[in-house]
Amino acid sequence: MTEDSPTTLDAALRARRERVNEAIDEQLPVQRPERLYEASRYLLEAGGKRLRPTILLLTAEAVTGTAPMDADYRSFPDVDGTPVDVLSAAVSIEVIQSFTLIHDDIMDDDDLRRGVPAVHREYDLETAILAGDTLYSKAFEYMLQTGAPAERSVRALDELATTCTHICEGQAFDVDFETRGDVAVDEYLEMVELKTAVLYAAAASIPAVLLGADDETVDSLRRYGRSVGQAFQIQDDLLDLTTPSDELGKTRGSDLVENKQTLITLHAREHGVDVDSLVPTDDVEAVEESTIEAAVAELETAGSIDYAREAAVDLVEQGKAELQVLESGHARSLLEDIADYLVERTY
Amino acid sequence: MTEDSPTTLDAALRARRERVNEAIDEQLPVQRPERLYEASRYLLEAGGKRLRPTILLLTAEAVTGTAPMDADYRSFPDVDGTPVDVLSAAVSIEVIQSFTLIHDDIMDDDDLRRGVPAVHREYDLETAILAGDTLYSKAFEYMLQTGAPAERSVRALDELATTCTHICEGQAFDVDFETRGDVAVDEYLEMVELKTAVLYAAAASIPAVLLGADDETVDSLRRYGRSVGQAFQIQDDLLDLTTPSDELGKTRGSDLVENKQTLITLHAREHGVDVDSLVPTDDVEAVEESTIEAAVAELETAGSIDYAREAAVDLVEQGKAELQVLESGHARSLLEDIADYLVERTY
């Protein structure tokens, strides 16, 4: 990342986040039954960096060589100049993300998300399940509303559907790993690919599909998304340990409490740390800040924190290399910067 | 229904149910992570009449004038003779149905389904949520695997996505109605249309879309599905009161215990029955068979049972009238018979 890019990237992220937020308001209004739609919008309104839809918009710009923010994303010129509503595709990806958060919070019995109560706490279990289910089908509706030629829409829908299946499989592995002490690094990386990275892969590849890019471009962008998505999850695992709860929007160290397997704990276990004893409680509410701090210190001494950091940086470099398939330009630079940001962010 | 039709219909239902079951086995194998896929298949393996996918196959036959069971459903000739895999569409519809049952049982906290423990009882809450989510995206994958021209696939996907949104909205209304004493008949019918009938409408209209039928045919078949689907739900409400628990596969009278609004209770309330006092407990486990019997007797005296039966029969007649859009023939007769069956069945 160049010296002056933080400002550039910040501005680029903010501008696109605002467009995505406006689009969510347009496409997901509160309608009857109101409580269902309020619950469906609740997490989306609570914040979020909109990283995935921003990557989708940047990819659309980079694929078509459109000057950033120069085009109407609702009527975005494809490779032949025919308009495609890439903003609806961006909303679709963010809405899938929101659905998975709502259901994951139920499964993990997490109380907080983005600094506010999880949906099943703010509303109730029934409403949270149903809000997630509603967002799920809405995401497919939005992906069908891009106006792209039918052949491309079918490919985009197929990518979205298989992505959702993979997210479920990844979450199932994640839950399964909580009761296993013998998870290998490859298994962890597969789990992270399925649970987290495939949605980044979809965000990067679907605009290329919708806009008529060639297969080589689509495949490279999918690999870019997958690599930076894995890096994002590893960084998330790191932040869970190193960021204060109030900045994190949820309890610091909750992964350790819930016995989540991360690249950090896998490395620590291999290097003789008694990971299961680091945090004796299973209750996120009951854990002391000092317990987490002592645990993090032990993981740092074992080199596990640095190991995970380096793995994330390697993945980001792999992802950025895939961007060579694109013409150089401002949008491609921003896709490189956003990849760096994913592992440099502090919350 | 003619005198000899039960046998014909039974044979027709059985033959198509077997094809659907084989197709489910082919398309939803147990794969890694095994526990997730076992949970996803659990309810599908526990039984089910496969009414919706059977209607889909019969509609495909009727639309194209194909002799029943004469064709390979995996390679079914469309209006121009081009092959379409309508069986994959049938599996998609059944899988959506199964996903909604899994999540509904969590929301209603029901213990039994199809005579076996509900998925969240047999497995756990996390796995049940995730199994439903997996089936959800799988259904979209299957609907994309029909090999139909892209324009028709996009229309079918759109119908499927909006159907799922409507099912969620209907379920939200259903939950909302449990705490309301002033639900009107029109509101109930809207709720039933959303919660239940739209999936029948999709089952009847989607094969027409995929096979290239004209819009008039598609619209008539959608109305057929909607009417018979509403009738099906009213009959379900009746069976909940009149069928012994062991035949029903769940506790008789559970709707009364859970304060579900049905056409029966709405009529009774309007005719002076103190519906809320019919079954004093809120615990399905604790309710006595004699309490349910006394409640049903009171509902019968008020004319509420007959009222609901007549409403269901009227809806079936409305639905059958829509079938005039099709050429007469064996498949159309079976679609008429299956409509009658929906309100004549005893479980």
pLDDT in tens, A219-240: 999 999 999 999 999 999 999 9
Q: Do B157 and A158 touch (CB under 8 A)?
A: no
The pLDDT of residue A6: 55
Q: Cis ω on the peptide bond leading into residue A33 (within 30° of 0)?
A: yes
The rounded distance, in Å, linking the Cα atoms of B321 and B262 is 25
pLDDT interval class at B114 (50, 70, 90): confident
* Domain span including residue A49: 5-344
Shortest CB distance from B165 goes to which of A129, A134, A154? A134
Average pLDDT over residues A130-154: 98
The rounded distance, in Å, linking the Cα atoms of A273 and A266 is 10
Q: Do B169 and A32 touch (CB under 8 A)?
A: yes
Cβ atoms of residues B225 and B56 within 8 Å: no
The pLDDT of residue A56: 98
Distance from the Cα of B336 to chain A's closest Cα (Å) equals: 31
Shortest CB distance from B134 goes to which of A150, A163, A168? A168
Alpha helices in chain A (DSSP H): 5-27, 34-45, 51-64, 86-108, 119-122, 125-143, 150-177, 185-192, 198-210, 215-242, 245-248, 254-257, 263-270, 289-301, 304-322, 330-344
The pLDDT of residue B2: 40
**What is the ipTM metric for this complex?**
0.94
Average pLDDT, chain B: 93
Shortest CB distance from A107 goes to which of B36, B130, B175? B130
The pLDDT of residue B69: 62
pLDDT interval class at B4 (50, 70, 90): very low
pLDDT interval class at B70 (50, 70, 90): low
Chain A contact set for B169 (CB, 8 A): 32-33, 36, 134
Is B157 touching A (CB cutoff 8 A)? Answer: yes
Q: Do A144 and B154 touch (CB under 8 A)?
A: yes
The rounded distance, in Å, linking the Cα atoms of B155 and B210 is 8
Average pLDDT over residues A107-123: 88
Say whether pLDDT at A70 is over 80. no
Q: Which residue of A has its CA nearest to B106?
A: A126
Tokens of residue B41, six digits: 């298949």
Is A103 touching B (CB cutoff 8 A)? Answer: yes
The pLDDT of residue A287: 85
Burial (0-12, 13-18, 19+ Cβ within 10 Å), A219: middle
Say whether pLDDT at A46 is over 70. yes
pLDDT interval class at A346 (50, 70, 90): confident
Structure-model confidence comparison of residues B126 and B109, the more confident one: B126
Chain B contact set for A144 (CB, 8 A): 154, 157-158, 161
Average pLDDT over residues B159-180: 95
pLDDT interval class at B142 (50, 70, 90): very high
Structure-model confidence comparison of residues A48 and B251, the more confident one: A48
Say whether pLDDT at B302 is over 50. yes
Q: How many domains does chain A have?
A: 1
Is A116 touching B (CB cutoff 8 A)? Answer: no
Cα A125 from chain centre: 24
Cβ atoms of residues B212 and B78 within 8 Å: yes
Average pLDDT over residues A156-181: 94
Percent of chain A exceeding pLDDT 90 equals 80
Q: Do B140 and A103 touch (CB under 8 A)?
A: no
Is B133 touching A (CB cutoff 8 A)? Answer: yes
Say whether pLDDT at A3 is over 70. no
Distance from the Cα of B152 to chain A's closest Cα (Å) equals: 9
Shortest CB distance from B107 goes to which of A33, A35, A129? A129
Is B140 touching A (CB cutoff 8 A)? Answer: yes
User: What's the CATH number where B266 sits?
Assistant: 1.10.600.10
Q: Which residue of B has its CA nearest to A99?
A: B133
Average pLDDT, chain A: 93
The rounded distance, in Å, linking the Cα atoms of B48 and B310 is 26
The rounded distance, in Å, linking the Cα atoms of A163 and B140 is 11
Distance from the Cα of B169 to chain A's closest Cα (Å) equals: 6
Say whether pLDDT at B67 is over 50. yes
Shortest CB distance from A165 goes to which of B137, B162, B168? B137
Burial (0-12, 13-18, 19+ Cβ within 10 Å), B31: exposed
Average pLDDT over residues A123-130: 96
The rounded distance, in Å, linking the Cα atoms of A15 and A76 is 16
Handedness of CA B99, B104, B106, B112 (dihedral sign): negative
Q: Tell me, what amino acid is at A188?
A: Y
Q: Do A160 and B140 touch (CB under 8 A)?
A: yes
Cβ atoms of residues A117 and A22 within 8 Å: no
Shortest CB distance from B107 goes to which of A126, A141, A168? A126
Distance from the Cα of B230 to chain A's closest Cα (Å) equals: 20
Is A141 touching B (CB cutoff 8 A)? Answer: yes
The pLDDT of residue A184: 93
Condensed to tens digits (0 to 9), the pLDDT of residues B195-244 reads 999 999 999 999 999 999 999 999 999 999 999 999 999 999 999 999 88
